[in-house]
C-alpha cells in the first residue's frame, strides 16, 4: 500500500505539506514545539476535565471515564490497526524527501531531530484531539452560556495541534484528515449510544 502514496493522486497532498512545512521560523519552531508536545495535550484535557467536574459534580467521573475509554479505543485503532496496515511513511522518514526537497524538522536541545514514529496514517494526534473534543463539547455545550467560546477553544485547539504536526514535518494533510474521520466515527458511535440514555442532565 505504501506505493499508493507516491502516485499522482497524492501530489496535492504533498504540495500542501511542502507549503506548510516550508514556512517556518525560529520563533514558530519554539511555539510549535510546545503545541505539538504531549504536555500541551494533557493541559488541554485537564482544563476540559475540570470544567466537566465543575458542571457535573458526582456524575463527572462517569463522563470522564467514558471520554477516556472512547479516546483510548480510537487511539488504539489508529496506532495498532490502521497505521500498521496502511504503512505510510512519515515525511520525516520518507526517502523521497532526501533529494530535491528536505523536510523541515524540529531540532532538540541535544542536536537530534524530532521525526516521530515510522508510520504516519492516520495521525493519532488528530484522532485523540478530535475524539475527546467532540465528546467534551457534547457534554459541556448544554451547560455553558457562551457555546461559541467553548467551540472556539475546543476545536480551535484541535486545529492548531493538528496543524503543528504538519509544521514539524511528521504528518501529511491527508494523515490528519484520516485521523478526523476515525475520530468522528468513534465519537459518533459513543454519542449515539449515550443519547439513548442522556447522562447530560
**Residue among 145, 133, 148 nearest 187 (CA):** 133
Cβ-proximal residues to 46 (8 Å cutoff; 6+ apart), any chain: none
End-to-end CA distance of the chain: 47
Instruction: Flag whether pLDDT at 97 surpasses 80.
Output: no
- Whole-angstrom CA distances from 51 to 46, 60, 127, 143, 186 are 9, 9, 22, 10, 23
Question: d(Cα 54, Cα 22) in Å, to the nearest integer?
Answer: 43
Q: Where are the alpha helices (DSSP H) in 36-123?
A: 38-56, 60-76, 83-86
3: nearest Cα among 81, 117, 95, 82: 95
- Cα–Cα distance measured from residue 185 to residue 169, given in angstroms and rounded to the nearest whole number: 26
For the chain, percent of residues with pLDDT exceeding 70: 90
Question: Which of 36-50, 59-73, 184-198 has the lowest average pLDDT?
Answer: 184-198
Give tens-digit pLDDT for 142-190: 999 999 999 999 999 999 999 999 999 999 999 999 999 999 999 999 9
- Pick the closest to residue 97 from 2, 41, 157, 169 (CA basis): 169
Amino acid at each position: 500500500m505504501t506505493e499508493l502514496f507516491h502516485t499522482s493522486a497524492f501530489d496535492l497532498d504533498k504540495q500542501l505539506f511542502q507549503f506548510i512545512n516550508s514556512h517556518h521560523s525560529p520563533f514558530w519552531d519554539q511555539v510549535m514545539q510546545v503545541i505539538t508536545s504531549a504536555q500541551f495535550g494533557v493541559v488541554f484535557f485537564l482544563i476540559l476535565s475540570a470544567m466537566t467536574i465543575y458542571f457535573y459534580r458526582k456524575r463527572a467521573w462517569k463522563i470522564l471515564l467514558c471520554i477516556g475509554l472512547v479516546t483510548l479505543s480510537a487511539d488504539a485503532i489508529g496506532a495498532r490497526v490502521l497505521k500498521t496496515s496502511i504503512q505510510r511513511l512519515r515525511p520525516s522518514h520518507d526517502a523521497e524527501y532526501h533529494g530535491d526537497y528536505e523536510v523541515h524538522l524540529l531540532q532538540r536541545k541535544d542536536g537530534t531531530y524530532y521525526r516521530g514514529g515510522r508510520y504516519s496514517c492516520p495521525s493519532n494526534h488528530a484522532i485523540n484531539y478530535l475524539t475527546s473534543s467532540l465528546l467534551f463539547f457534547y457534554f459541556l455545550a448544554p451547560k455553558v452560556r457562551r457555546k461559541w467560546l467553548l467551540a472556539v477553544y475546543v476545536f480551535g485547539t484541535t486545529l492548531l495541534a493538528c496543524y503543528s504536526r504538519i509544521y514539524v514535518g511528521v504528518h501529511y494533510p491527508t494523515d490528519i484528515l484520516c485521523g478526523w474521520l476515525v475520530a468522528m466515527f468513534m465519537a459518533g458511535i459513543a454519542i449515539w449510544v449515550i443519547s439513548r440514555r442522556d447522562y447530560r442532565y
